[in-house]
Amino acid sequence: MALTNSQYNTIMKEYEEKQLASRHALEDRINHVNKILPEYQAISSEISSLSLQQAVKLLDGDDSALKELKTSIQQLSEKKNQLLLNAGLPLNYLEPEYVCPNCKDTGYIGMEKCHCFKQQIITLLYQQSNITDMLKENNFSTLSYEYYEGEDLLHFQNTVKTCKDFIDCFNSDYHNLFFYGTVGTGKSFLSGCIAKELMDSGHSVIYFSSTGLFEKLSRISFDYNAKDELSDLYEDLYSCDLLIIDDLGTELTNNFSSSQFFSCLNERILRKKSIIISTNLSLQELRDRYSDRIFSRITSNFKLCKITGPDIRMYKKRLANRK
């Protein structure tokens, strides 16, 4: 499960907060017991004193000291337990409480990530992806071919197969996808399908509309007041397993934004970090709108998937109006 440094630090900070909350809660319970049961604290002090005395005896060669200590501690512990029960408190009242008892809120069992850590990764990836709500609708469980016919259906079927191959080979082969074609034909939907499958398996995915991405790239270049925040964004943008750029062509394009867009594409391609781009532009419009080097990067490093057909959003809207 690949995480950037900032993502890992975010999760570990949450574990630190859980551990701190657990310690504070335990301290409150200890103070409560000491307040209502002063004899409980006295027994605890007696155990500490007895342990020290028996340790000295053991160092002096008294082999029976350890056995005597165990017996005495057991008897005193039973008295402490009885005091708790008499006060209406459970026997585990003064034991630490953990959100995850398996790893004791450390995130690890030995050297292995705990199941709660793995779930934290998936939760974080969803939060940072920008598409949590979108994926409630855009996933393979809601995939339908009913809106397509003839050549449009063939294009869509081929693209769905390409998407599933992209997911199946994601860990072994480096690929990028470029969805283009007419408005409302399922390009963003298929991007969401891929995103959900990858995030559910623990891969980091970040989604941006092209307008949102270009705004972020501009902030990275000019907003010096948010340097730390943008440093994390920069790392995530170039290190996440999959970057989705939706509706390319709807942003305001100028020489600066085109240059930033090229740098983003080029950096991720050099790092072999996958990208999915969707656009309503034709390939000719893509060439005319952006620089030759952007067009070259896309056509030579992306699998081009053309999707055509009716505007599904408008089709669904018309059906809803008829009811």
Backbone angles phi, psi at 22, to 5 degrees: -65, -45
Residues 234 and 311 in one domain: yes
Q: Are 2 and 203 in contact (CB under 8 A)?
A: yes
DSSP assigned state of 139: S
Domain contains 247? yes
What's the rounded Cα separation, in Å, for the pair 301 and 52? 72
Domain contains 208? yes
Q: Are 244 and 206 in contact (CB under 8 A)?
A: yes
Domain contains 115? no
Cβ burial, residue 141 (10 Å; 0-12/13-18/19+): exposed
pLDDT of residue 126: 67
Residues 281 and 217 in one domain: yes
Domain contains 280? yes
Predicted TM-score of the model (pTM): 0.65
Query: Whole domain around residue 240: which residue ranges?
Result: 130-322
Element (H, E) at 28: helix 5-36
Residues 173 and 89 in one domain: no
**What CATH number does the domain containing 315 carry?**
3.40.50.300
Residues 96 and 135 in one domain: no
What's the rounded Cα separation, in Å, for the pair 106 and 20? 11
Q: Are 259 and 290 in contact (CB under 8 A)?
A: no
pLDDT of residue 1: 45
Domain contains 125? no
Domain contains 118? no
Residues 151 and 200 in one domain: yes
Count of structural domains, the chain: 2
What type of residue sits at position 15? Y
Domain contains 116? no
Residues 160 and 309 in one domain: yes
Residues 185 and 300 in one domain: yes
Domain contains 290? yes
Residues 93 and 144 in one domain: no
Residues 48 and 191 in one domain: no
List the one residue out of 233, 196, 18 whose CA is nearest residue 122.
Answer: 196
323 residues of the chain, pLDDT tens digit each = 456 677 788 889 999 999 999 999 999 999 999 899 999 989 988 888 888 888 888 787 877 878 888 888 889 999 999 999 999 999 999 999 999 998 999 999 999 888 888 778 777 766 766 677 778 788 898 898 988 999 999 999 999 999 999 999 999 999 999 999 989 899 999 999 999 999 888 788 888 889 988 887 777 666 666 555 556 666 778 888 899 999 999 988 788 878 888 988 999 999 999 999 999 999 999 999 998 999 999 999 999 999 998 888 776 766 666 65
Is the dihedral angle over the CA atoms 28, 34, 40, 46 positive or is it negative? Answer: positive
pLDDT of residue 199: 84
Number of alpha carbons in the 13 Å side-chain half-sphere of residue 279:
22
What is the three-state SS of 235-264? HHHHHCCEEEEEEECCCCCCHHHHHHHHHH
pLDDT of residue 318: 66
